[in-house]
């Protein structure tokens, strides 16, 4: 007799915890053949509200860490990701990737995370500037995290898309609320377990699974979200983000302004340049 397997419950990731949706809802994540892989939590506007509140609470401490420390934590994510490669390959294959495609995607995701980890203690040197003003002043510009950033992860590829959008947002010290791929949410959920075991402080990354059309308006309109990476949004969804952004002058990165997936300008898009002046005198 074969043993009865124990199935996992796929939940949200908010504040370093794995709650169910407060709405009590879930939806079926389907495999390539249309079979139900699992039921995953269907996040609600209240879950999103909680996630934003927690992300805001975590931001001061995350940005207050040194770049070196954030870099180490991001590198630790890469280590744990590599360690869980098997699970990710299985999940990617379940949604239609070949074994090779899945392995390549996982490898690329690990490498991308390592690449961004290395930027944490360097990006300010590239995007900052000592400005030679014409007067007796010390004048320096440096990039700072924008604050709380909503990340709309691409539908495809399930893991690499998420990592590519999330990592650059974390590098300068933003905290995030991520809307996972709607049709392929399993890698994102497994990724939250990676985060949870990689020294990432609770609340720095919050991941909601659910229906983007339901959640995006609440994210777009939220007055305590400073920026949204709409890279994984449809054209209509991106427009909805732009419309909501108006309420508090959110910064919006559009799918059309993607640029390269692996670029320090991705980091720069979620920073604010602060310029500090001080007189030089006796």
Partner 1 sequence: MAITRIPDTSHEPLLWEYAASRESADIVSLDEKYGLFIDGELRAPKSRKYFPTINPASEEELAQVAEAGKADVDDAVASARTAYEDVWGPMAPAERAKYIFRIARMIQERSRELAVLETLDGGKPIKESRDVDLPLVAGHFFYYAGWADKLEYAFPGITPKPLGVAGQVIPWNFPMLMLAWKVAPALAAGNTVVLKPAETTPLTALVFAELTAEAGLPPGVLNVVTGAGGTGSLVVTHDDVDKVAFTGSTAVGKLIQSELAGTSKRLTLELGGKGAHVIFEDAPLDQAVEGVINGIFFNQGHVCCAGSRLFVEESIHDRFVDKLKRRLNTLRVGDPMDKNTDIGAINSRAQLEKIEELVDSGRSEGAEIFQPDCELPTSGFFFRPTLFTGVSQSHRIAQEEIFGPVLSILSFRTPEEAVEKANNTPYGLSAGIWTTKGSRILWMADRMKAGVVWANTFNKFDPSSPFGGYKESGFGREGGRHGLLAYMDLGET
Partner 2 sequence: MTLAPARSSVLPDRITTPTLRTFLRGVPSVDEVGASERVAALSTRSIKKESKRAALDLMIRMMDLTTLEGKDTPGKVVQMCAKAYRPDPTDASIPSVAAVCVYPNMVPYAVQATEGTGIYVASVATYFPSGLSDTKLKIEETKKVVADGADEVDMVIDRGAFLAGEYFKVFDEIRRTKEACGDAHLKVILETGELETLDNVRRASMLAMAAGGDFIKTSTGKVSPAATLPVTLVMLEAIRDFHDATGVQVGMKPAGGIRTSKDAMKYLLVLNETLGEAWMTPDWFRFGASSLLNDVLMQIRFQETGRYSSPDYFTKD
Q: Taking CB under 8 A as the rule, does residue 137 contact partner 1?
A: yes
Taking the least distance from each CB to partner 1, the nearer of 48 and 238 is: 238
Task: Give the one residue of 5, 64, 132, 279 binding partner 2; rule: CB under 8 A.
Answer: 279
Task: Report the run of H or E that residue 30 belongs to, with start and end.
Answer: strand 26-30
Task: Give the one residue of 4, 24, 134, 282 binding partner 1; rule: CB under 8 A.
Answer: 134
Task: Give the one residue of 89, 133, 176, 184 binding partner 1; rule: CB under 8 A.
Answer: 133
* CB neighbourhood size of 278 (10 A): 10
Binds 153: which of partner 2, partner 1, none (CB < 5-8 Å by kind): none
Which segment (162-170, 182-190, 202-210, 274-282) binds partner 2 by CB under 8 A? 274-282
CA end-to-end distance (rounded Å), the chain? 87
Of 119-138, which residues contact partner 2 (CB under 8 A)? 136-137
Taking the least distance from each CB to partner 1, the nearer of 18 and 137 is: 137
The CA distance from 225 to 238, in Å, is: 16
The per-residue DSSP string of 164-220 comes to HHHHHHHTTT-EEEEE--SSS-HHHHHHHHHHHTTTPPTTSEEEE-S-HHHHHHHHH
Phi, psi of 130 (to 5 degrees): -90, 120
Q: Where would I find the beta strands (DSSP E) of 44-161?
A: 129-130, 137-145, 148-152
Q: Taking CB under 8 A as the rule, does residue 226 contact partner 1?
A: yes
Contact residues for 217 (Cβ-Cβ < 8 A; gap 6+): 240, 244
Q: Taking CB under 8 A as the rule, does residue 265 contact partner 1?
A: yes
Q: Using alpha carbons, select from 8, 14, 6 the residue that is nearest to residue 209.
A: 14
Taking the least distance from each CB to partner 1, the nearer of 46 and 278 is: 278
Task: Report the run of H or E that residue 101 belongs to, with start and end.
Answer: helix 99-117
Binds 282: which of partner 2, partner 1, none (CB < 5-8 Å by kind): partner 2
Which segment (102-110, 182-190, 205-213, 248-256) binds partner 1 by CB under 8 A? 248-256
Q: Taking CB under 8 A as the rule, does residue 66 contact partner 1?
A: no
Task: Give the one residue of 5, 70, 256, 282 binding partner 1; rule: CB under 8 A.
Answer: 256
Specify the residue for token string 């983007």.
Answer: 212
Task: Give the one residue of 66, 126, 183, 213 binding partner 1; rule: CB under 8 A.
Answer: 126
Phi, psi of 270 (to 5 degrees): -115, 35
Cross-strand bridge partners of residue 273: 143
**Under a CB-based contact definition with an 8 Å cutoff, are residues 109 and 159 in contact?**
yes
Q: How far is the CB of 139 from partner 2 (least distance, A)?
A: 12
Q: How far is the CB of 27 from partner 1 (least distance, A)?
A: 29
Binding region for partner 1 (CB under 8 A): 126, 129, 131-135, 137, 139, 141, 146, 226, 239, 242-243, 245-249, 251, 254, 256-257, 259-260, 263-265, 272-279
Binding region for partner 2 (CB under 8 A): 136-137, 279-282
């Amino acid at each position: 007799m074969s043993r009865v397997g124990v199935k996992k419950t796929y939940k949200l990731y908010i504040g370093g915890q794995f709650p169910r949706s407060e709405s009590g809802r879930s939806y079926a994540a389907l495999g390539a053949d249309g079979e139900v892989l699992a039921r995953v939590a269907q996040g609600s506007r209240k879950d999103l509200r909680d996630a934003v509140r927690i992300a805001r609470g975590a931001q001061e401490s995350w940005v207050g860490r040194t770049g070196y420390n954030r870099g180490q934590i991001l590198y630790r994510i890469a280590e744990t990701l590599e360690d869980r490669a098997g699970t990710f390959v299985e999940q990617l294959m379940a949604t239609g990737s070949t074994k090779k495609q899945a392995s390549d995607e996982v490898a690329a995701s690990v490498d991308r995370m390592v690449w961004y980890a290395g930027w944490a203690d360097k990006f300010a040197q590239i995007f900052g500037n000592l400005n030679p003003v014409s007067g007796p002043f010390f004048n320096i510009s440096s990039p700072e995290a924008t604050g709380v950033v909503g990340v709309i992860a691409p539908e495809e590829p399930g893991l690499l898309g998420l990592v590519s959008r999330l990592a650059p947002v974390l590098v300068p010290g933003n905290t995030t609320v991520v809307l996972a791929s709607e049709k392929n949410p399993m890698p994102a959920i497994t990724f939250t377990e990676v985060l949870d075991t990689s020294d990432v402080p609770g609340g720095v990354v919050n991941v909601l699974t659910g229906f983007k059309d339901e959640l995006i308006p609440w994210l777009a309109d939220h007055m305590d979200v400073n920026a949204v990476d709409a890279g994984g949004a449809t054209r209509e969804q991106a427009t909805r983000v732009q419309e909501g952004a108006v309420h508090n002058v959110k910064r919006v990165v559009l799918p059309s302004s993607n640029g390269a997936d692996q670029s320090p300008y991705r980091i720069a898009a979620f920073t604010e340049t602060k310029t500090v002046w001080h007189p030089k005198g006796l």
